[in-house]
Each structure stands twice: as structure tokens, then as C-alpha cells.
């Protein structure tokens, strides 16, 4: 009990004495007060400075509001030493009276490692939430992540939806909400929090591996600044694109209401209405319906959806698979059903 009280007092003292910490926590708290309030929530931990900053802020919120908080690390089993690293982080956090839960991945991850690992991670965290009756997963994404995501999607030719980057809140399977309360802060701010509270953080070697596009994009930061393309300018562009995306989504909602009928095991789309819309609108409606029907983190590739649209315009009847679904067009109806698992 003495050790617990000591760690609580130290944390409170650190946030009270340092103005910068106090200001960041005040804004963090206001975000959580609006969204989470007294509900239980999960904090995704990796051991890096971003997640440790989030851990410190969440622990402070827990002390004040008495929320039930689950700190969870997913061991993807991709790297040789990942399990021992996870245990080291668990022991380290225990010295601060923070109980870390470790979930081990059992699926093989061989292709598109970073995106596949992300899907696996969110699936496992969502399953954990379901067992613990909580609806919120908090992550340590920050504004540098926003810029990287923007540049990655720009390199892939993304449109408004992709370039508007990450929302503060997005939905995963089983109506679990992924909450990113630190998007207004830069990585250097989170490093400052982690260093102030924990005095150290743990490095993931894959963050410096140039075989990953995100790592290569991250390395462009200084070159962009020298060229006059600044972090804050990109963030402003993202905000402008988000406004445009929201306007587009309002229109998509109206069209969807007129042409989409959702059943338990099937989605029906009235092709006569869909065909009157520009391809961009039709494509987004089909992508959205497939993504949410199969509860996927990502929508199907836009090129594949466009190929589907081209076929529906040329043929009265079609049948093909896309994004884990069987798509059939018969007469003026497009039917979307889940593929049967082998």
C-alpha cells in the first residue's frame, strides 16, 4: 500500500510542478471528460515514448476520476526478442504500480507486415475490450504521425478520404471506439512527458528499418523543412481536407439512404440510383458498405472497386469476389454477401 501511495504522490507531484506537463494534462483531461467520462478504457502500450506518455496521462486521469483502466501490450511475435522485450516493459511499469497485460499474437504475419500487424493488433485489442466490457481503446498517435500518414497516402495517390488522415475517434469491430487524444501534440512533446515521468522509454528496432515506407517517409522530415514544406502547413492542409471530406460524407449519407438496404446477411444496392451518381460517389458507397459489412479495418482498394463499377455498367449480370464479399448484379440490384470461410 505504501508503494502504491508513493507512486501516486510522485505522479501527482510531477504533473503539478511542471507547467508544460500540467497544460498538456489539462487538455488531455478535457478530451476524455467529453468522450469517456467515468467509463472504463484500454490504453495501447508499446513501450515507446508515445505510448508511455499516454500511459502517464491515463494513469493520472485514473487517479482523479477512478476509472477502470487496462494497459495492454500486443506481442506480435514478428521479431525474435519481442516476448522478452514485452516482459521487460511489464516489469518496468510494475515499479510505477501500473499493471500491464500482454496479449500474444498466434497468427503468422508475413506480407504487408506493418499494415497486417496493425489489423491483428486492433483485432486482439477489440477482443480484449469485449471481454472486459469496455468500448474505448486509446492510442498515442500524435501530429507527426498525421503528417507521415498524409505523405504515405499522397505517395499512393489517395483522394480526399485518405488525405484527411486520422480522425480523433474512429470505429473498430463490435462498435469499439479507437480514440486518439494526443493528435494535437508533436512527438517531441510526448518524449518530454515520457522522460519527465518514466526517465526512459523502449525502442522498437523496426522503426528504423528502411524496408518500411513509413520509416523512409519519416526520414524526409528535415528535407521537407529545408524545402519550405513545414509540419504546421501540412497539418493545416489535413484540417482543410477533413472539412471537405465531412461535406462529401454528408452527401454520401443522403445518397446511401436512397439506394442502400441493409439486411443481416446481405446488402442490396439499387443500381438505377447509384448509376446516376459520379463514379467517385458510387465507388465510395460500395467501399463503405463492403468495409463495414465484413468489419474490416481497411476498405477494398479503390482500383478494384472502380473495376467492379465498370463491369456493372457494361453487364446486366455479374458475379465476383471483392474484399471478403461475393458481389452479384442481377437486373437493377447489386447484392453483397460475405464469402463463406473455408
Q: Given this structure, which CATH class describes domain 233-338? A: mainly alpha
pLDDT score, position 137: 98
pLDDT tens by residue, 165-200: 899 999 888 889 999 999 999 999 999 999 999 999
pLDDT score, position 2: 54
State the fold for domain 2-156+163-229.
Rossmann fold (3.40.50)
Kindly report the average pLDDT of the chain as a whole number.
Answer: 91
Domain boundaries, the chain: 2-156+163-229, 233-338
> 11-20, 148-157, 175-184 — which is least confidently predicted?
11-20
pLDDT tens by residue, 269-304: 999 999 999 998 999 999 999 998 988 877 888 889
- Label residue 206 by pLDDT band (50, 70, 90): confident
Q: Does the pLDDT at position 3 exceed 60?
A: no
Average pLDDT over residues 229-239: 95
Average pLDDT over residues 98-108: 92
pLDDT score, position 147: 95
Instruction: Give the residue with greater pLDDT, 130 vs 16.
Output: 130
d(CA 238, CA 165): 7
Can you list the alpha helix ranges (DSSP code H) found in the chain? Answer: 2-17, 19-35, 49-65, 82-94, 113-132, 143-155, 160-163, 187-198, 213-218, 221-226, 231-259, 271-274, 279-293, 302-314
d(CA 149, CA 241): 14
Amino acid at each position: 500500500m505504501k508503494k502504491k501511495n508513493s507512486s501516486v504522490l510522485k505522479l501527482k507531484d510531477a504533473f503539478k510542478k511542471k507547467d508544460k506537463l500540467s497544460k498538456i494534462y489539462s487538455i488531455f483531461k478535457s478530451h476524455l471528460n467529453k468522450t469517456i467520462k467515468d467509463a472504463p478504457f484500454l490504453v495501447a502500450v508499446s513501450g515507446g515514448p508515445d505510448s508511455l506518455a499516454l500511459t502517464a496521462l491515463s494513469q493520472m486521469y485514473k487517479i482523479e476520476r477512478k476509472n477502470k483502466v487496462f494497459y495492454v501490450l500486443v506481442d506480435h511475435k514478428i521479431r525474435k526478442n519481442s516476448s522478452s522485450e514485452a516482459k521487460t516493459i511489464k516489469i518496468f511499469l510494475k515499479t510505477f504500480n501500473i499493471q500491464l497485460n500482454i496479449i500474444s499474437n498466434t497468427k503468422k504475419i508475413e506480407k504487408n507486415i506493418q499494415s497486417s500487424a496493425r489489423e491483428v493488433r486492433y483485432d486482439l485489442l477489440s477482443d480484449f475490450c469485449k471481454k472486459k466490457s469496455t468500448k474505448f481503446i486509446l492510442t498515442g498517435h500524435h501530429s507527426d504521425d498525421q503528417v507521415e500518414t498524409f505523405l504515405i497516402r499522397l505517395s499512393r495517390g489517395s483522394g480526399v478520404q485518405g488525405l484527411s488522415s486520422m480522425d480523433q475517434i474512429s470505429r473498430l469491430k463490435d462498435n469499439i471506439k479507437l480514440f486518439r487524444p494526443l493528435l494535437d501534440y508533436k512527438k517531441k512533446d510526448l518524449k518530454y512527458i515520457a522522460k519527465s515521468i518514466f526517465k526512459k522509454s523502449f525502442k522498437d528496432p523496426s522503426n528504423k528499418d528502411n524496408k518500411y515506407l513509413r520509416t523512409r517517409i519519416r526520414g524526409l522530415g528535415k528535407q521537407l523543412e529545408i524545402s519550405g514544406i513545414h509540419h504546421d502547413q501540412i497539418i493545416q492542409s489535413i484540417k482543410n481536407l477533413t472539412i471537405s471530406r465531412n461535406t462529401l460524407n454528408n452527401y454520401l449519407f443522403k445518397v446511401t439512404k436512397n439506394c442502400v438496404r441493409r439486411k443481416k446477411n446481405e446488402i442490396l444496392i439499387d443500381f438505377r440510383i447509384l448509376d446516376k451518381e459520379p463514379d467517385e460517389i458510387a465507388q465510395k458507397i460500395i467501399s463503405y458498405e463492403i468495409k463495414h459489412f465484413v468489419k474490416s479495418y481497411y476498405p477494398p482498394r479503390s482500383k478494384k472497386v472502380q473495376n467492379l463499377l465498370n463491369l456493372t455498367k457494361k453487364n446486366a449480370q455479374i458475379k465476383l469476389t471483392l474484399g471478403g464479399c461475393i458481389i452479384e448484379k442481377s437486373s437493377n440490384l447489386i447484392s453483397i454477401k460475405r464469402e463463406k470461410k473455408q
